[in-house]
Amino acid sequence: MKQATAGRILSFLFLFLVPLTSAYAGAEKGPAIGETLPFYSLLPFAGMLLSIALFPLVLPKLWHHHFGKVTLFWVLITVIPLLIFYKMAGLSEILHIMLADYLPFIILLGSLYTVSGGILLRGTLSGTPAFNTMILLVGTILASWMGTTGAAMLLIRPFLRANARRKNRSFMVVFFIFMVANIGGLLTPLGDPPLFLGFLRGVPFFWTFSLLKQLLVAVVVLLPVYYVLDTYFYKKEGIADLPDEGINEPVRIEGYSNFIFLAGIVGAVLLSGTVKWGEISMLGVHRGVQDIVRDGFLILMGVLSLTLTKRKIREDNAFTWFPIKEVAILFFGIFLSMIPCLAILQAGARGELSWVITAVREPVHYFWVTGILSAFLDNAPTYLTFLNTATGGFYTGVPGPEAIALLIKENPVYLAAISTGAVFFGALTYIGNAPNFMVRSIAEELGTPMPSFFGYMFKYSLIILMPIFVLITFIFFL
């Protein structure tokens, strides 16, 4: 059976590699591979996204047991042509995205997941509409200060336990993804990776506070909508009329030491963006010493959390490794398969996606194009691509930090549009932001059915979020 599966994978691999390598072979070779990559090279990334969207819906059992093999298939489809036709330039792109992007990304997620899994909110939690709305508001506030991932991992389990008696829970988790895992991260560089990258390149730490108006518009619309929906289902389910199950237990927190580790993670991330300790080369990829120290410290925080937290706390918290394992495998495939797409975007007007770059001129364009691409690509490099497009368009030849300072002084609406789009549109899809996937996986593990990839989009995010984005467009970016 395993040999037959391997044979089918190799057959499909050959089927895709033949035309793909032919397309690569016709491209002019050069160090800036984004300028020569054919449009056809975007196929593996599209295949990876469609696999995530369709396989759980059409073949759920096969996907659950073999999503790693499917991911590997699309990775090989991407990296083999890059290595064959771009040789060292292709290898450099692969090593860079793995060492400079993927590893720090998964180390941060893994440490936050491990530490937050050691914090247990024990006691009787009542999933009333008022309580749930309060959790969403608190999570939205926390997200800007401990990151969307940290806030989401800290609160999702207590949120689900509080609503264990509720029948209709899917919409609750969807709104949790909207607000805690995405929109709440807008106010500081700690909130979301693209804002942190902007901070590293010269955007002042507190400049993002100017985006409070956009955040308030989204929250002021979303919270009442959620409360009305939750109240409707709460009354329909007759939860208030059900007898209490056992004795009400006072609410208390266990695993306090993990708050110290959580503070350590936030502090390490912030410190790595404020100090410069030089650079070292790792397999030809230049990385800041402070970034390597940060990653080592994050791993240490996770190890200390595992060592010092009682096993019973994690057991009672229904903590397992599957959600972070699933995210690590799938985003390994996403990061590698999107190399051609990011390279072409970064090539600007000289790449196959020049029509996208050249069409972006006004703040409204930056908001929507940055946003839509962030919903399907990694929002951090998308943010940087359009930040560079804006500064290059206004201040050609001016060094990066100086150009950003001028952009903030003379044309801040462009940076506001890029920042808001990169953060808010991450809520449109499960892959728009890493916490989305983790929250969905934890919810399913704890017995809450979640909509499919397309179900999430067409039943929830497009219907609920798009009108809000249109409203924000008219208020701020037209």
For every one of its 478 residues, what pLDDT tens digit does the chain have, with 9 covering 90 and above? 454 554 555 455 555 555 555 555 544 444 478 888 998 898 998 899 889 888 888 888 888 889 999 999 999 999 999 999 898 989 999 998 899 888 888 898 889 889 988 988 877 778 899 999 999 999 999 998 888 988 998 899 989 988 988 899 999 999 999 999 999 999 988 888 888 878 877 888 889 999 999 999 999 999 999 999 999 999 988 876 555 555 567 778 899 899 999 899 888 988 887 888 999 988 888 888 998 999 999 999 999 999 999 999 999 888 889 888 988 999 899 889 988 988 887 777 788 888 877 888 899 999 999 999 889 877 877 888 888 888 878 887 777 778 889 999 999 999 999 999 999 999 999 988 888 988 998 999 889 999 998 999 999 999 999 999 999 999 999 9
Task: Pick the closest to residue 147 from 172, 124, 113 (CA basis).
Answer: 113
In a domain, 19, yes or no: no
**H helix and E strand count, the chain:** 21, 4
Measured distance CA(409)–CA(385) in Å, rounded: 20
pLDDT of residue 26: 47
Measured distance CA(305)–CA(299) in Å, rounded: 10
pTM above 0.75, yes or no: yes
Residues in the chain: 478
In a domain, 234, yes or no: yes
Distance of CA 115 to the CA centre of its chain: 19
pLDDT of residue 21: 54
In a domain, 367, yes or no: yes
Which residue is associated with the tokens 């890493």?
434
In a domain, 207, yes or no: yes
In a domain, 185, yes or no: yes
Q: Helices marked H in 347-378 — which ranges?
A: 354-359, 363-376
Sign of the CA dihedral 454, 182, 137, 414? negative
pLDDT of residue 120: 87
As given in the structure block, the two tokens for residue 185 are 């991260």
Number of domains within the chain = 1
Domain hosting 433: range is 118-240+251-255+309-318+360-477
> Of all residues in the chain, what percent are helix, strand and coil, respectively (each to 5)?
75, 5, 20
